[in-house]
Structure 1
Amino acid sequence: MPVQKKEARPASRNGRTRIPAFVQSQRGVKNWKEASGWLDWRGIEDIECITPDQAGVARGKMMPSKKFTSNTSLALPSAVFMTTISGDYPEDGNGFTYPEDDGDLKLLPDLSTLSVVPWESDPTAQVICDLVHQDGRSVEFTPRNVLKRVVAAYADRGLRPVVAPEIEFYLVRKNPDPDYPLEPPVGRSGRAIGGGQGYSIAGVNEFDELIDDIYHFSEGQGLEIDTLIHEEGAGQLEINLRHGDPVELADQVFMFKRTIREAALKHETYATFMAKPIQRQPGSAMHIHQSIVDRKTGKNIFAADDGSETEAFGYFIGGMQRHIPNALVMLAPYVNSYRRLTQAASAPVNTKWGYDNRTTAFRVPRSDPQARRVENRIPSSDANPYLALAASLACGLIGMINKVPCDAPVGTSVNEDEIELPRGLLEAVDLFESDDALRDMLGEPFVSTYAAIKKAEFETFMEVISPWEREYLLLNV
């Protein structure tokens, strides 16, 4: 792990060298003075100041570390956060207006996210930034701020959400030509990986060196992996993260995606978080475990003193049952996402809930009362983690505020029933724009901007002629 350390200039006591604790921290410092010492001790030369765009792609600027700590003003054009995944811009309309001046937004580094970039050969650090207007107001349509807005709505009610994401992804052979289908990678055995490897240790061992790099890169950034498993798909893996604060966990998913891609490239392999990258293979999900804690007592509000389920528990589920279909565009953000959401597949296509029932959208795992939580199994791994968490938590909070009752739990397989979710991107956008409660919770600037981007992405997709059309329509119609 290429994390270079410069000779420190620590304090000395009784002839013993004393290194401040903050300098040894792998992730985060409290203030700019600590940041300077942290960077100096490691001999950091460059800083990557990054922030997630609407797709969850890292955008930002790189600069010398000395400039970073000299009160330099950082800015990005506002257009960066209004672009589609293909680099196009949406048309004005339905509340969205592209700013004529394309003015700058200021980047505010969150020093608690400062860490090294372990895959770089030169000593490099990275820090996640928030976006504000020139007058200091929060930029409402940027993803990290949208999640902070939802978390603040919980705090206003004396509550604190706790989440634990699980991220699935595929390792695939390098694919420079997008006209060719993706193929499973070749592992250490020299053979292409096959499907049906769920929880296979041998399947994980096929990629020992790559996985070692994922662990080493993660450790170097202070990112904590709970477990790693091989999933059902050919070359499909899953990483589970420990539970914690939603913004911190979204930051970790944001960084993990980057880390996993870099580790894969080091081994001449692609890592992809597409929802459905390979035909006739399972899709990739980002399951979200959620519980809510009373800020004063620290108790899980889903459990009463006697361990029974509370009204808040039912209302949280009821809110998700009612509003998740309208927020689906934040959980399944691309045309490809809906290829994962099909009947009789591993992904849920309903709004039902049940105890330890993986065919339902909302699963309540078996646990002690104080660990009671609700797992949202609908989001796909291509979702922006900030927006997926914001959407899921917003729907649950709306349910608790409006006291939306939940349906009775189901104990049977329900994934072959009629699909209860939008079947495509445009339908999902229409439902998203029509939900006033979601609009109030997430903010009008975000809803109008995000909807405009998704409509533009759909129109770009419609310009592409697929192999299916050439195969079945070319000579038959």
Structure 2
Amino acid sequence: MSDDMLDQLPAQAQAYLEGRRLDEVECIISDFPGIARGKAVPASKFARLKHFHLPDSIFFQTITGDWSDAAGSDGFIEKDMILRPDMSTATAAPWTGDWTLQVIHDAYDRKDRPVPIAPRNVLKRVVALYEAQGWKPVVAPEMEFFLIARNLDPARDIEPMVGRSGRPAAARQAYSMTAVDEFGPVIDDIYDFAEAQGFEIDGITQEGGAGQLEINLRHGDPVRLADEVFYFKRLIREAALRHDCFATFMAKPIAQEPGSAMHIHHSVLDLETGRNIFSGPQGGETDAFFHFIAGLQKYLPAATAVLAPYVNSYRRYVRDHAAPINLEWARDNRTTGIRIPLSSPDARRVENRLAGMDCNPYLGIAASLACGYLGLMEEHRPSPAFRGDAYEGEPAIPQVLGEALDVFEEAEALHAVLGEEFARVYSIVKRTEYQEFLQVISPWEREHLLLNV
């Protein structure tokens, strides 16, 4: 790698390569599910590249690998996108056998316009709308996931991984340090990989499910944090594989256990003053604070198809299972869909508890910020703050993917923020996936309907 290119790298990537010869660069971009797509190239070739090409059809594929009819008026001709590296995202791939960097790329068309359906571009579009109003959005995602026993048979139930004690992980051990210690070797590798990649973990805790952990990230710029979640999913999977287990970000992998969320904390700063617009000069809650909450209440039902993108996602929204069933808001109340955590006025924030860990981090954060943005622009007022157990109320969010897509497809205001072309393509891809699922006959149907109806 040339000295000029080395100088472009973040400090942590430079430190990773100090005294070493870079072998390979993985040029990657996120597709709709959040899978890294791209090319691995020798470092010497990457140093000469200004861009590379990848077909736009990566955004038309379903999670099963089938194709949706979302190509638009040009037809399915698999046009090349121009992918340019964002060198600020260069980071180590410390699990590889050689010295490798990963670099996230941004997608442009042949007229040098951002490809509107690329997830990172969707998030950048929403952030730009905030900035046009003189605001800087700030987010902090929380990542929940399960460490499970290796499972090579889709027909077999998911089981928790076996810890260092030789016993399977136990449920209902939330915040137990002993439970965390059971996964010590995996967690040690997660920390080591994160350090090599320059990521700061705010904390790791045991959640309520068997083998379920949560990683909290420091608050910051939405695009940077989405990049980190995108990277973290890969590094966590790699750490698990080193210890003969799997990491899964599936929303509800184990029946009767809580699901995995990607709770998103939001605040908004004034670009000129740097002050949190949710807090007034005396520290009180501002109109903007209430408008943001109202935007979440009004538009999250339409955004659910993005925050809960698969049929399995809706199995997470179960009463009394640590996931919201409605869009009530309250201060320091984890039964509501919208929670206001305890904080100082400067750190006042709004937590969206609806998003599942199976969502694409760029799209999930973009959709959540889009709802808040519409609330700020429309200046609606939220319902009164909820008191008590919100699980006692009636569900107020879509219950299945088909219903969520119905609501999403009618949400013109949300489409205008996320981008009309993105909304069109996303809806078609998800409809195709849903139709694929409806062709599958489940074990429940065979057990209870085969001879009884």
Same fold (TM over 0.5): yes
TM-score normalised according to structure 1 size: 0.92
Of 363, 368, 372, which aligns to 1:396? 372
**Distance (whole Å) between structure 2 residues aligned to residue 265 and residue 344 of structure 1:** 32
Aligned partners of 1:417, 1:467: CA distance in 2, in Å? 31
Q: Cα RMSD (Å) of the superposition?
A: 1.9
The equivalent residue for 2:359 is 383
Give the equivalent residue in structure 2 for 1:26: 12
Distance 2:20 2:81 in 1: 30
Aligned to 1:311: 287
CA contact (8 A) 1:74 1:107 kept: yes
Aligned to 1:3: none
Distance 1:322 1:457 in 2: 26
Give secondary structure in 1 for the equivalent of 2:283: coil
Q: Deviations over 1:414-450 (max 9, x none)?
A: 1131100011111111111111110110111100000
Q: Is structure 2 residue 86 aligned with structure 1 residue 110?
A: yes
Structure 2 distance, partners of 1:99, 1:304, is 52
Matches within 5 A, 1:304-453: 304-453=280-429
Q: CA 1:66/1:346 → structure 2, altered by over 3 Å: closer, same or farther? A: same
Cα distance, 1:462 vs. partner? 1.1
Match of 1:17 in 2: none
Structure 1 residues without counterparts, runs of 5 or longer: 1-5, 11-19, 29-36
Q: Which of 193, 196, 214 is the aligned partner of 2:190?
A: 214
* Counterpart residue type for residue 345 of structure 1: H
Corresponding residue of 1:155: 131
TM-superposition CA deviations, 1:137-190 (whole Å, max 9, x none): 100011000000000000000000000000100000000010101001110000
Residue 97 of structure 1, CA deviation: 5.0
Q: Give TM-score scaled by structure 2 length.
A: 0.96
Which amino acid counterpart does residue 50 of structure 1 have in structure 2? Answer: I
Counterpart pick for 2:110 among 130, 134, 145: 134
Q: Distance in 2 between matches of 1:386 and 1:23?
A: 23
The 3 A distance-change label for structure 1 pair 344 and 246 is same
Structure 1 CA distance, aligned partners of 2:358 and 2:92?
25
- Aligned to 1:68, what secondary structure does the other structure show? helix
- Number of the residue aligned with 2:142: 166
The answer for the alignment partner of 2:40 in structure 1 is 62
- Cα distance in 2 between the residues matched to 1:262 and 1:71: 28
Q: Secondary structure at the match of 1:69?
A: helix
CA distance in 2, matches of 1:144, 1:23: 20
- Contact kept, 8 Å, 2:17 with 2:99, in 1: the verdict is no
CA-CA distance at 1:465 after TM superposition: 1.1
Q: Distance in 2 between matches of 1:437 and 1:453?
A: 20
Larger radius of gyration: 1
The offset of 1:222, in angstroms, is: 0.6
With over 3 angstroms needed to count, the CA separation of the structure-2 counterparts of 1:24 and 1:83, relative to structure 1, is closer
Mapped contact 1:344–1:416 kept (Cα < 8 A): no
**Worse-matched range after superposition: 241-250 or 63-72:** 63-72
* Structure-2 separation of matches of 1:24 and 1:384: 24
Alpha carbons of structure 1 residues 315 and 23: separation in structure 2 relative to 1, 3 Å: closer
Structure 2 Cα separation of the partners of residues 9 and 283 of structure 1: 47
Q: How many residues align?
A: 452
Does residue 1:52 correspond to 2:30, yes or no?
Answer: yes
> Which residue, out of 17, 21, 26, partners 1:43?
21
Asked whether the 8 Å contact 1:52–1:58 carries over to 2, the reply is yes
* Identity value in percent: 50
